[in-house]
Amino acid sequence: MRRMRNVKIVATLGPASSDYATIRALHEAGADVFRLNMSHGTHDEIAARHAIIRQVERDLDSTIAILADLQGPKLRVGRFANGEEELEEGAAFRLDLDDAPGDVHRVHLPHPEIFAVLEPGAALLVNDGKIRLRVERCGSDFAECTVTVGGTISNRKGVNVPDVVLPLAALSDKDRSDLDFVCDLGVDWLALSFVQRPEDVTEARERARGRAAILSKIEKPAAVKSFDAILAASDGIMVARGDLGVELPVQNVPPIQKRLTRACRAAAKPVIVATQMLESMIESPMPTRAEVSDVATAIYEGSDAIMLSAESAAGQYPVEAVRTMDNVAQEVEGDPNYRQIIDAQRGAERATVADAIVAAAREITETTDVKAICCYTQSGTTALLVARERPPAPILALSSVQSTARRLALSWGTKCVITGELDRFKSAVVNAARAARKLGYAGTEDQIVVTAGVPFNTTGTTNILRVAPCDERLIYNTDPE
């Protein structure tokens, strides 16, 4: 299945998209990666959706990545005697460890770790920032606050603490159980919530034991401050703009999105831009103009992937939402300004032989009529380096490692092909030519670029580049053994 765009689409599965027909339709409409939200659904429901995705993959002979999104620690207030209360601006309000039902003056906050790091002047945000409190006085078991933004507060609403690094691990007990479950199930990516420091990523990686790649969600100010270290520890990044917009001034989010996206590209690691991209399509078959512009901006910035959440998981028009994203992506990438912007953002990372090989491959596609770059990769690193170059020609990533091929389905412009193990470069060129012809990227009269590492099946040895014909007879007549 050939996409007519480079940016990838991540679609979240849920009640509106849990059967075979819908999941297949989502993939055919443009979804390259399916997200399983571990905040919702039982293990049996997650396993059923996973099985359907793999069945669609087999039926369509199309490599699909599966991303399991771990819930992370959830900080919530307790319950109210009346179910809810109205807090007025300027009023005093207390949070404490007393589990008695709350009222208009106080409520239980069952998180001593929050009280341990609070200081006077710190902000507390409740219900996605709709209610804002300023800490006036605090201790190990209480915080006396002033309401700076009032509103309705009710049972079990979430609490955000943007001004401090909380002494909490990114993995809760539920997350550890979910992580083991989905890794045994065979997901390709783990999205890690509540990341504050690189050590959070290390814990998840050690527990995953190589069974899935680690994608860190940047949703807290502490993660933005420690981003370089978090990026170095991660395999990919998700810019989770919803939570960032709660914990930071909303006007700060667009420049942060741009900066993080460019840093990920420079590091040759995939980046997803997520949250509220086509929010109105939960209930409407058509997006707003502002939403379309938002999606287009993420594509112009060079994001590897853009994500649908409730739009595809619980909305009334999941397939239409994916199709809309696909249409917007094709239109943006067909704009001459897109290529100018993408090229202008390219860095000058040339530290290794592999860097030089992939840069040369991209330059060849810019100056000749070569139809595709075919790269053999075991770990996926070479394909990620090619994707960092953002070449004008399609990227075919060929790998004998199925998990590598699936993980690369998240990477910009990369079509993944699972192939057998090879021991000769001639065989690699022949396989690449066959794949390019079969997938419709090239004909027998065309040429492709082939990159590989010799000796074969060894990670980190990309050291050879060949411009090759797609006619096998010419390959056999001109290639040495």
Longest dimension (CA), the chain: 85
Residue 35 annotated as catalytic? yes
Count Cα atoms within 13 angstroms, Cβ side, for 31: 31
> What are the tokens at 241?
């703009």
Residue 74 annotated as catalytic? no
Q: In the chain, count of helices (H) and strands (E)? A: 18, 21
Choosing from 275, 365, 414, 419, which is the catalytic residue?
275
Choosing from 5, 35, 265, 415, which is the catalytic residue?
35
Q: What is the bridge-based pairing of β-strands 373-376 and 395-399?
A: parallel
Phi and psi at 115, nearest 5°, equal -60, -30
The 10 Å Cβ neighbour count of residue 329 is 23
Whether the Cβ atoms of residue 324 and residue 296 lie closer than 8 Å to each other: no
Q: In what order do the strands lie in the sheet with 131-139?
A: 106-108, 92-96, 142-149, 131-139, 123-126, 159-160
333-363 per-residue burial string, b: 16 or more CB within 10 A, e: under 16: beeeebeeebeebeeebeeeebbebbbebbe
> What are the tokens at 365?
């596609």
Q: Taking the CA atoms of 361, 364, 370 and 371 in sequence, report the sign of the dihedral they define.
A: positive
Choosing from 54, 76, 207, 258, which is the catalytic residue?
76
Phi and psi at 125, nearest 5°, equal -115, 130
Q: Helix, strand or coil for residue 227?
A: helix
Choosing from 217, 241, 390, 466, which is the catalytic residue?
217
Whether the Cβ atoms of residue 9 and residue 322 lie closer than 8 Å to each other: yes
Please tell me the distance from the alpha carbon of residue 180 to that of residue 211, in angstroms, as a whole number. 10
Please tell me the distance from the alpha carbon of residue 453 to that of residue 449, in angstroms, as a whole number. 14
Long-range pairs, 422-427, Cβ under 8 A, ≥24? 422/376, 422/456, 422/457, 423/456, 423/457, 424/456, 424/481, 425/452, 425/454, 425/456, 425/464, 425/466, 425/479, 426/475, 426/476, 426/479, 426/480, 426/481
Work out the end-to-end distance of the chain between its first and last CA atoms, rounded to an integer number of angstroms: 32
Amino acid at site 228: D
Please tell me the distance from the alpha carbon of residue 183 to that of residue 190, in angstroms, as a whole number. 9
Residue 54 annotated as catalytic? no
Q: Which residues are catalytic?
A: 35, 76, 217, 275
